[in-house]
């Protein structure tokens, strides 16, 4: 179990992020057309998992916008934004913001992704949704970078995540 803070108050997660060098756990998430998607659906590309509590918060929205901007010329990279938001809300957010370089994915059907990646909040006001984290996975499915953002209200280290690519 790891700990994060929200405005200085400490909360627990369900585990630890996957170790750098390990094979990334498969996942079952839901896309904007209500299709089930898995990690293998993005094989052959480098993947940035931008894991956020909800796109309906300023920091989550900012991180999604920034990753969208930073990969605009990277055809070998896909940014998967994982949140507890419903696919409809995720789609509206991306449409309103004009975000074309990120793929929003929802925990709508199961919290297994959040448990398997060690980011499920287990207590406090955000229990049941994810802590903020970034996991970078290479084209072969190996974890090459992770960051559990210590303070949920803070942005991730974009440059470190991109440098891992």
Active site residues: 60
45: CATH? 3.40.30.10
How many domains is the chain partitioned into structurally?
1
Residue 94's pLDDT is 97
pLDDT value for 17:
98
In this predicted structure, what is the pLDDT of residue 12? 97
Q: Which domain holds residue 45?
A: 3-163
Read off the pTM: 0.96
Give the pLDDT score at 53: 97
pLDDT, residue 109, reads 96
Are 70 and 158 in contact by the 8 Å Cβ rule? The answer is yes
Percent of the chain clearing pLDDT 90 (strictly above): 99
CA distances from 102 to 34, 80, 83, 88 (A): 17, 6, 13, 15
Please tell me the distance from the alpha carbon of residue 101 to that of residue 92, in angstroms, as a whole number.
Answer: 15
Cα separation, 107 vs 49, in Å, equals 13
Q: What is the pLDDT of residue 38?
A: 97
Question: How many other C-beta atoms are found inside a 10 Å radius of the C-beta of residue 156?
Answer: 21
pLDDT of 89-143, one tens digit each? 999 999 999 999 999 999 999 999 999 999 999 999 999 999 999 999 999 999 9
Q: How far is CA 85 from CA 6, 90, 129, in A?
A: 19, 6, 9
pLDDT mean over 145-165? 97
């Amino acid at each position: 179990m790891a700990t994060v803070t929200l405005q200085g108050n400490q909360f627990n997660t369900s585990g630890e992020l996957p170790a750098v060098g390990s094979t990334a756990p498969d996942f079952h998430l839901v896309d904007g057309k209500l299709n089930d998607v898995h990690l293998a659906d993005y094989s052959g590309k480098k993947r940035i998992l931008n894991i956020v509590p909800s796109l309906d918060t300023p920091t989550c929205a900012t991180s999604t916008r920034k990753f969208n901007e930073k990969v605009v010329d990277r055809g070998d990279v896909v940014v998967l934004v994982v949140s507890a938001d419903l696919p409809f809300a995720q789609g509206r957010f991306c449409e309103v913001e004009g975000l074309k370089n990120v793929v929003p994915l929802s925990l709508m059907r199961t919290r297994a992704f959040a448990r398997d990646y060690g980011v499920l909040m287990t207590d406090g006001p955000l229990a049941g949704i994810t802590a903020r984290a970034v996991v970078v996975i290479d084209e072969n499915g190996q974890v090459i970078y992770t960051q559990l953002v210590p303070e949920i209200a803070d942005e991730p280290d974009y440059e470190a995540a991109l440098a891992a690519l």
